[in-house]
Amino acid sequence: MVIVVGNPANTNCLTASKSAPSIPKENFSCLTRLDHNRAKSQIALKLGVTADDVKNVIIWGNHSSTQYPDVNHAKVKLQGKEVGVYEALKDDSWLKGEFITTVQQRGAAVIKARKLSSAMSAAKAISDHVRDIWFGTPEGEFVSMGVISDGNSYGIPDDLLYSFPVVIKNKTWKFVEGLPINDFSREKMDLTAKELAEEKETAFEFLSSA
């Protein structure tokens, strides 16, 4: 397994995979778990629960400010019952606005405030990512991971390193299939895919001229 953390993580990961064709491309992944954890934390803070009470948030796309944190399929445990996040929060304008921009720009905000990156949060996210690859995802839960887009059912072009919801079993990840995608999500997912396609083109032009 090869896990890429250094930015631009998705495109660096794709470049590494192309440069090592003897390693299966499914063995390459990049870290979007930090964004995933931040999305869980924002929901938890808003609802006054712990981040462990929130599951199945999704980070779609690039580990950049175009990423799309999606909670349409997320659940939260409230008073012992699992409830959809939209239903629990009853605040669609926050979920479609400030929540998304906060997660998208959290890294920059931390650097601005601390004059340092969020190294410990990243380290925690890397250990979460590796633990799930090694031990698998809990039953009924999925996580976000930047993986090769080939064969996905969400209309994302092949040959991009894109963050998807995945489940992991026996050290093998699989796309979570069949999640309904509304028009709002579609637009955000396509926007971040477009950015990744442009990054890929720029990187490959640079490599071919090097």
Type of residue numbered 40? K
Residue 210 lies in a domain: no
Strand partners, 83: 76
Catalytic residue among 36, 63, 73, 129: 63
Type of residue numbered 144? S
pLDDT tens per residue, range 151-200: 999 999 999 999 999 999 999 999 999 999 999 999 999 999 999 999 99
Residue 209 lies in a domain: no
pLDDT for 116: 64
Residue 8 lies in a domain: yes
Residue 147: domain span: 2-204
Residue 105 lies in a domain: yes
What's phi and psi for 163, nearest 5 deg? -80, 125
Count how many domains the chain has. 1
Considering the entire predicted model, what is its pTM? 0.94
Residue 21 lies in a domain: yes
Give me 200's structure tokens. 């890929």
Task: Identify which has the larger pLDDT, 185 or 111.
Answer: 185
pLDDT tens per residue, range 2-14: 999 999 999 999 9
In the predicted structure, residue 57 carries a pLDDT above the cut 70? yes
- Residues above pLDDT 70, as percent of the chain: 94
Residue 134 buriedness (CB in 10 A; 0-12 / 13-18 / 19+): exposed
Residue 99 lies in a domain: yes
Residue 118 lies in a domain: yes
- What is the CATH classification number for the domain harbouring 194? 3.90.110.10
Residue 179 lies in a domain: yes
73 is an active site residue:
no
Q: Where are the beta strands (DSSP E) in the chain?
A: 2-4, 28-30, 54-55, 58-60, 68-70, 75-78, 81-84, 143-148, 161-169, 172-175
Establish whether the linkage from the previous residue to 157 is cis, with ω within 30° of 0: no
pLDDT tens per residue, range 16-30: 999 999 999 999 999
